Amino acid sequence: MALAIFRIKPAATGSQSVKVTKEKSAENRAALIKTAARMFRERGIDGVGVAEISKAADLTHGALYAQFPSKQALVAEALAHGLARSHASMTVPKPHGAPTLSDHLDLYLSLDHRDNARALTIVAAMMGGVAIARATAKSRSDLSDEIMTAVRRVLGEVGGEGGEPRN
């Protein structure tokens, strides 16, 4: 029987983390928000986990939790992102002038919008299922506030049939 003796170095006491620049951190955060918003629209909040979101954004699970303390925090950011995108697309001038309430209703109630998960607004996707019912009271309150803000914006900026902004 042979006996081998090896010198074993003690393990490092602290794990070394890779430093991420502020710019890269901001890019990672934006990628996670954009990816989460898309996946929540397509599959609902309960239909996707943080591991799937991280992978789809080409990031690690740890990168997600470095940006967001919880899935609910990511949901809130994705909601705000989705509402901002919806608002921007809703207020783009049409060939006949400012978008009217009829323009919005025609789009929202169209078969294409109904049948295309990618076309859904994030609010519509989040309202489906029981995800909101299981959300924290703060998340439900934040969602309600965001929806009311969006409605007030649209009512204030969307003109009537003649394209006149409402006051």
Q: What is the pLDDT of residue 84?
A: 78
Kindly give the parts of the chain with pLDDT less than 70: 1-18, 113-136, 139, 143, 150, 154-167
Q: What is the pLDDT of residue 47?
A: 84
Q: What is the pLDDT of residue 53?
A: 96
Angular region, 136: left φ>0, alpha ψ -120 to 50, beta rest:
beta
Domain ranges for the chain: 22-157
Q: What is the pLDDT of residue 166?
A: 45
**If one looks up domain 22-157 in CATH, what number appears?**
1.10.357.10
- Is 0.85 surpassed by the pTM of this model? no
Q: What is the Cα–Cα distance from 46 to 115, expressed in whole angstroms?
A: 20
Q: What is the pLDDT of residue 6?
A: 47
Q: What is the pLDDT of residue 9?
A: 52
